[in-house]
Amino acid sequence: MARVFPLRNVLRPYQLEVARAVLESVRRRLGLTFTVMMSRQAGKNELSAQMELYLLARHLHRPEELVKCAPTFDPQARISLRRLWQRLEEAGLGELASLEEGRAVRLGRARQLFLSAEPGAHVVGHTATLLLEVDEAQEVDREKFQRDFLPMVAATGATVVLYGTPWDGSTLLEEMAEHHRELERRDGVRRHFQWDWQEVARHNPAYARFV
């Protein structure tokens, strides 16, 4: 099987901080929930795709399920699906992978499923055994997340990651981030990761020139 390159070769230092925490939670079945806030184009989707690639490759001989949702399937979740497929091909794993119903990527026995978090989307019944991700979580309805998505990890101890950018302080993402800060003050376990554009620019010259 083709070699999957270590994440440190493809991710920037601030992305690696998240990857290490998330993958450790997955590996140890800690069932932690994380919030990740980055400026636009800072690389949260690349971080997500690289972690998905790593977990699929690591568990391709096991019937594991990863789930990622976004405020819409088209275009948001579909963009994430295409990015993961591209990373699989770049890693030399394309021949072992398959696309299922245009909504899931399978590698061996492991599968990454992409779903819509729109209020009317029918998603009940799915289970995340390793990882549940919420993209652009500041746009996801709080009730939808708690009623339809959070139960997907209830019986599995899967890790949960919410990505996005800060808005007005009242979104699902920001409320979860504040909750995580409070938990960190109690037990010292980092659950919230946030970087502004200056930190991103420090590691990405092209980004620095743009902003």
Q: Where are the domains of the chain?
A: 33-169
First CA to last CA distance, the chain: 41
For domain 33-169, the question of CATH label 3.30.360.10 is answered with no
Regarding beta strands 110-116 and 65-70, do their DSSP bridges make them parallel or antiparallel, or are they unpaired?
A: parallel
Query: How many C-beta atoms lie closer than 10 Å to residue 18's C-beta?
Result: 24
pLDDT by residue for the chain (211 residues), tens only, comes to 334 446 766 898 999 999 999 999 999 999 999 999 998 777 899 999 999 999 999 999 999 999 999 999 999 999 999 999 999 999 999 999 999 999 999 999 999 999 999 999 999 999 999 999 999 999 999 999 999 999 999 999 999 999 999 889 899 999 999 999 999 999 999 999 998 777 766 766 665 556 5
pLDDT of 1 reads 36
Give just the sign of the alpha carbon dihedral 196, 198, 204, 207: positive
Query: Which helix or strand (DSSP H or E) is residue 36 part of?
Result: strand 33-37
177 exposure class (CB count in 10 Å sphere: 0-12, 13-18, 19+):
buried
Nearest-10 Cα torsion for 196, 161, 19, 39: -20
How many residues in total does the chain contain?
211
Question: pTM of the predicted model, to two decimals?
Answer: 0.93
- Count other Cβ atoms within 10 Å, centred on residue 189: 12
The DSSP bridge pattern shows strands 97-100 and 104-107 to be antiparallel
* Phi, psi angle pair for 111, to nearest 5°: -140, 140
Residue pair 159/131 in contact by the 8 Å Cβ criterion: yes
- pLDDT of the residue at 126: 97
Q: How many CA atoms lie within 13 A of 100 on its CB side?
A: 13
Q: Contact, 104 vs 114, CB < 8 A?
A: yes
